[in-house]
Amino acid sequence: MDISGNIRRLRLGRDVTQEKLAAALGVSFQTVSKWERGETYPDITLLPALAAYFGVTTDALLCVDDAVKQAKIKAFDRENYRLDYTDAAEHNERVIAMSRELYAEFPTDARVMWRRLYTMQREDDPDGDEIVRLGTEIIERGDSHERNLAIQTLAYHYGSLGDIETAEKHANMSGSLITSREQLLASVYSGEKRVKQAQENVGILLLLASLNLCNAYDPDDGRAAVECLKTAVNLYRAVDGTGAPSAAVGRRIIGDNACLFLARQYVGLGEYDDAFDTLGTLCDYAAAVDGTGKPPAAFSKLSAGAPQAAATKRLVAIAREHLGLKGFDAIRGDARFAVIDARLAAAAAT
């Protein structure tokens, strides 16, 4: 990225108009416009003031270290993704150390700051004050993507502390589902691009619906819990259509634990046959997530590309680990439980 694109990125990331930036620097907005179009460049005497306005170094403004920084950010992301499906303790230890190194080198870059904030939440005893400080700074100076992630993090953080008023304040800073980036893109695209975006949106909305249904009941009302969770599982199955389970839906239905939660509620109500039927559905999808399942009827684009074997195994392995929770003790001695466990073990090892 050259300086013209960098000025525009920094300005838009802070929701500043060309007029406001021009006034702060004592130039006309037409001058700022020419900078961003690459027609002219800022006078060298303006560079310190311009960098200070955006809270970056002059080198960063001029993109001197941007290539190196980009490469290191990509290296972090690649390693984080690789470790995401390995041992959780190893993952946390490694990415926390990497994020600290990255942040120490580039402490004013919002992209790096977000990655540090992300890994801080994985620490055994995270510094709450530092989470707030870093999140607030990202909101003030980050691009829209990092800003939204920081808003989300702080909303969850304050919510976990019981400070609902501040959590709600941050939640209200975020955009609505109706005006989300994904929804707007599906509206402005055309042809195959529009179809692909809309199909991806179905997957996102399916996950959001399921997650909300998993929270839409009184924890003490087992019957209401069953009805909500059944709806979540049935949404996945409705999107999948008839016939064999699909890999794309399988990854989602396993990943958000809807089947496991539903089965555990059935166990709590003493409805063991329904619990095993639900766990059987989980196993059917676990067997499909190696990429051999049929394309899902409603959003086939999500099953395109090579299957992610490591991701698949980790998701299924986590689901199997959940069977060790206390909520399944009542059916652990049933012969059917051993069958379920064996099916999940086979899928995790495939």
Rounded (to 5) percent helix, strand, coil in the chain: 75, 0, 25
Element (H, E) at 275: helix 272-288
What pLDDT was estimated at residue 99? 92
Calpha distance 118→107 (Å, rounded): 14
What pLDDT was estimated at residue 304? 41
Calpha distance 160→121 (Å, rounded): 12
| Span 184-237, pLDDT tens digits | 888 899 888 888 888 888 878 888 888 888 788 887 888 998 999 999 888 888
Token pair for 304:
């395109």
CATH class of the 73-171 domain in this structure: mainly alpha
What pLDDT was estimated at residue 336? 96
Percent of the chain with pLDDT over 70: 89
Average pLDDT across the chain, whole number: 84
Question: What CATH architecture does domain 3-61 belong to?
Answer: Orthogonal Bundle (1.10)
| Span 143-194, pLDDT tens digits | 778 888 899 999 999 998 999 999 999 999 887 877 788 888 888 998 888 8
* Residues 210, 259 contacting (CB under 8 angstroms): no
pLDDT greater at residue 4 or residue 228: 228
Cα–Cα–Cα angle for 30, 33, 38, rounded to 5 degrees: 130
Where in the chain are all domains bearing CATH 1.25.40?
A: 73-171
Residue type, 241: G
Where in the chain are all domains bearing CATH 1.10.260.40?
A: 3-61
pLDDT greater at residue 342 or residue 142: 342
pLDDT-based confidence at 24, cuts 50/70/90? Answer: very high
Q: What is the mean pLDDT of residues 298-310?
A: 48
| Span 76-87, pLDDT tens digits | 988 887 665 455
